[in-house]
């Protein structure tokens, strides 16, 4: 489907922003320079007639994104948690995208449930109510199980959503390709790879079997986390387009008035959201990657309940250590070490000057270190960060896209709960704990033990492998098979020695 016809979809995007009145709202929110305003108007105004009308009862930005489709809605959801970046007016407009979109009919929902579960609705649910939340991909109904009477949430995929997402993503591919052709400097950001990554995430979110699996893994990882809950998945009533899980009873995390009325400590909640995200990313390498206010509730006992597990992030052990060292360096204001970590990890080309990079990082960290959220302009900070990455030739790391995006979202949620939160003070104990357990002598011993265990599995084959390598080195034409080093006793001694060495390392941990 990726063809020239997608040019029309891009033009219609600008035309829709113009027709709904969202063009000026968006340009003002991002403080767009005059040159960009001229280009945007040139693309949108002549084709205003072709723009989608949307729902006139909605605010301009919400109206435009809702009319354009689910991929645009997803983008708006992210921005809704950043009033410091897009301004209070636009953030309020976009927040409606999280759980207040027009629902599809009960008839369509029941048809999907019966088709997917292959049973009448009444055989599974004693009750099923009207939709309580309607988002870009699915809507949620409150129901009651026939067997136990337990209250559950029934998540049903929107009819035709797969086709709608394909259309949006195809247009994004075209936009990325155009950017790469006409803006060579942007190629270091790998726009096409970014869209490929986004497509993979979206495809996973459109299959509730994968989401159910993600929720189960997340629940297992976090079952010991105080003040945090994950609803239980009802596997026998879940499938590709329907997911059933325990009902999350609580106050939406984005409703500050309701939180205050319920007696919850918003300052403590803001700190806990940030700490939990860091714990999950660093400790587990598996984190909720869509933690906006619409996906968080606060239970009557004060626990934070996470819902919607369609987008999850995963980090390998090495990336987590790099991430922790960078955070720890900022916390200690050791910008030289932060710069060195970037070079060691290959995030910055080796031909760049590490001292210059450290100085640029200091210019990023010093203005925000020790400041509460009300005194930090994330808009200016992000602008400068982009300038730094461009200056030093840093390329986009697709494996870090979800982490970077979620960091922005989570910090925005914490800020909305507690405008005076100091992110460095909150992050410090979590990062220090990870550093202590995962970077240093103890971690080195653990790595060596794992390496020895892996090598020990090849113990019986090591003599032949070593001898073959030596023979090839000294006489490439000589036969590689010989019986001199393949005696069973020698193989037992080598393999057993490696296993014993692994056990010694483990005992030291």
Active-site amino acid positions? 290
Helices 22-29 and 88-95 meet at what angle, rounded to 10? 120
Residues in the chain: 509
141: Cβ–Cβ under 8 A, 6 or more apart, which residues? 109, 128, 129, 130, 131, 132, 153, 154, 156
Joined tokens for residue 57: 């009862």
CA–CA separation, 129 and 386 (whole Å): 47
Q: Which residue has the tokens 């597990």?
A: 309
CA–CA separation, 481 and 265 (whole Å): 72
Q: Report how far Cα 254 is from the mean position of its chain's Cα atoms.
A: 19
- DSSP string across 216-251: HHHHHHHTT-TTEE-PPB-GGG--SSEEEEE---SE
Torsion of CA 321, 322, 323, 328, to 10 degrees: 80
Helices 5-19 and 22-29 meet at what angle, rounded to 10? 90
Closest CA to 249 of 292, 294, 299: 299
Q: Enumerate long-range contacts of 54-57, CB under 8 Å, 24 or more apart.
A: 54/16, 54/20, 55/102
Is the CB of residue 184 less than 8 Å from the CB of residue 272? no
121: Cβ–Cβ under 8 A, 6 or more apart, which residues? 110, 113, 114, 128
Is the CB of residue 313 less than 8 Å from the CB of residue 406? yes
101: Cβ–Cβ under 8 A, 6 or more apart, which residues? 66, 73, 134, 135, 136
């Amino acid at each position: 489907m990726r063809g020239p016809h997608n040019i029309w979809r891009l033009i219609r995007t600008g035309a829709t922003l113009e027709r709904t009145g969202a063009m000026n709202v968006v340009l003002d929110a991002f403080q767009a320079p005059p040159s960009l305003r001229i280009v945007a108007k040139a693309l949108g105004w002549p084709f205003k007639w072709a723009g989608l009308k949307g729902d006139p009862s909605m605010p301009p930005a919400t109206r435009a994104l809702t009319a354009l489709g689910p991929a645009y809605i997803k983008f708006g959801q992210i921005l809704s948690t950043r009033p410091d970046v897009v301004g209070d007016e636009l953030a309020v407009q976009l927040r409606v995208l999280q759980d207040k979109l027009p629902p599809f009919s009960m008839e369509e929902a029941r048809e999907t449930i019966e088709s997917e579960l292959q049973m009448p609705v009444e055989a599974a649910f004693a009750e099923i109510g009207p939709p309580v939340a309607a988002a870009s991909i699915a809507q949620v109904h409150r129901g009651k199980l026939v067997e136990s009477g337990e209250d559950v949430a029934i998540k049903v995929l929107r009819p035709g959503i797969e086709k709608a997402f394909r259309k949006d993503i195809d247009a994004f591919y075209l936009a990325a390709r155009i950017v790469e052709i006409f803006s060579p400097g942007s190629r270091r950001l790998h726009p096409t790879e970014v869209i490929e990554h986004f497509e993979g995430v979206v495809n996973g979110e459109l299959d509730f079997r994968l989401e159910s699996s993600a929720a189960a893994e997340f629940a297992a990882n976090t079952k010991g986390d105080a003040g945090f809950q994950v609803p239980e998945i009802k596997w026998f009533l879940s499938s590709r387009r329907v997911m059933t899980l325990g009902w999350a009873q609580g106050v939406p995390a984005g409703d500050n008035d309701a939180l205050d009325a319920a007696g919850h400590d918003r300052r403590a909640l803001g700190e806990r959201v940030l700490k939990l995200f860091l714990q999950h990313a660093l400790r587990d390498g598996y984190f909720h990657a869509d933690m906006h206010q619409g996906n968080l509730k606060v239970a009557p006992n004060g626990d934070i309940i996470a819902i919607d597990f369609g987008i999850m992030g995963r980090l390998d052990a090495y990336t987590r250590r790099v991430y922790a060292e960078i955070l720890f360096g900022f916390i200690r204001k050791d910008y030289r070490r932060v710069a060195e970590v970037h070079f060691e990890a290959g995030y910055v080309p080796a031909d760049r000057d590490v001292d210059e990079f450290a100085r640029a990082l200091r210019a990023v960290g010093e203005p925000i270190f020790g400041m509460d959220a009300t005194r930090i302009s994330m808009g200016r900070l992000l602008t400068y960060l982009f300038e730094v990455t461009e200056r030093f030739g840093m390329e986009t790391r697709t494996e870090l896209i979800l982490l970077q995006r979620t960091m922005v979202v989570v910090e925005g949620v914490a800020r909305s709960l507690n405008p005076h939160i100091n992110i460095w003070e909150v992050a410090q104990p979590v990062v220090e704990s990870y550093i202590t357990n995962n970077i240093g002598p103890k971690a080195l011993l653990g790595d060596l033990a794992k390496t020895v265990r892996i090598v020990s599995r090849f113990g019986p084959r090591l003599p032949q492998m070593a001898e073959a390598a030596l023979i090839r080195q000294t006489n490439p034409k000589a036969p590689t098979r010989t019986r001199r080093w393949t005696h069973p006793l020698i193989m037992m001694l080598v393999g057993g020695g490696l296993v014993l060495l692994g056990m010694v390392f483990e005992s030291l941990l």
